[in-house]
Homo-oligomer: A and B are copies of this chain.
């Protein structure tokens, strides 16, 4: 029970989860875990993988939605369940893996209406089929809140998996799309900020009906041009910091990929649209790095699935995150979403 460094910890006042945050908690937990030999993907990536011994890897991910904490106002049961699939499939897509199956472990309070649970089932089905996967089962339990613990499963070629780690200085930083819609939507949903009806509806759709870049990830994986990849579910800034930490690089961005709707919303309210783009979350674009000599291949791979590659900047050897616009350098702070703290 004694912590490795006794100075970390005052026995009279044990630390709580809220005090150390999600990342600190995972670090502490991993101290006690023996890594599996020959893990195709190390800890601290988006997914977990087990070698199948024939060049392939079973790739899995698990993510939990807790109704009272994670489900925004106005989201239906169908949408919440579909989102549970999207968020789990997105992580597989970010590694270049086709999701084949979805499992759900459901916690349900006794007084939940049966037709709401049927809507959850329809949402799982819709999400899985939309991305070419199937719901293969799960488990139901009594719980004090609706808990949707989802699991995605797929199989990938071990040497084609796009990991978080792999960027070297000089690599091009790129994304599959623009950011900021969900940050604007959360301002509407959680802070009561206003927006014209048509804009409001489209922004809210980004939260209620998010889309995963699964086909895009598979195309990028097959191209072999990508050196590292992550999905942006915790926000663009956090994704940059995660890529940075994994490979020991920094990034110099020449542009922030701000969505047109986020620009419009920011304009109405005199907000900084860059902040909406950086510090959102729950949007599932891929953020990745590419060897400069292979940019054409990456661009072409995305084009075959109808997606434009957005070039954001370049990886650097100093672990700083900066935006350089009109010769002015701005530090990109981390911010973004982490469980338990903030």
**Residues B60 and A135 in contact, CB atoms below 8 Å apart:** no
Which residue of B has the minimal Cβ distance to A108? B17
- Identical chains in the assembly: 2
Contact A107 B32 (CB under 8 A): no
CA distance A151 to B137 in the complex (A): 12
Interface: A70 (CB within 8 A)? yes
Interface segment out of the listed A21-29, A238-246, A248-256, A325-333: A21-29
Do residues B50 and A153 form an inter-chain contact, with CB atoms below 8 A?
yes
Given contact pairs A19-B114, A147-B107, A149-B105, A139 touches B34 in the complex (Cβ within 8 A):
no
Q: Does A138 reach chain B (CB closer than 8 Å)?
A: yes
Say whether A69 faces chain B, with CB atoms less than 8 Å apart.
yes
* Residue in chain B with minimal CB distance to A69: B142
Q: For chain A, what secondary structure do more than half of its interface residues adopt (helix, strand, loop), or is it mixed?
A: mixed
What separation, in Å, do the CA atoms of A34 and B14 have in the docked complex? 49
Q: Name the B residues within 8 Å of A155 (CB-CB).
A: 52, 58
Chain B nearest CB, measured from A80 CB (Å):
14
Residues facing B in A67-126 (CB within 8 A) are 68-70, 100-101, 103-115, 117-122, 124-125
Tell me if A292 counts as interface (CB < 8 A to partner B).
no
Q: Contacts of A115 on B, CB cut-off 8 Å?
A: 1, 3, 9, 14-15
15 examples of A-B residue contacts, CB within 8 angstroms: A16-B111, A17-B113, A18-B111, A26-B140, A29-B117, A32-B121, A33-B121, A35-B134, A50-B101, A50-B153, A62-B139, A64-B147, A66-B143, A105-B149, A140-B339
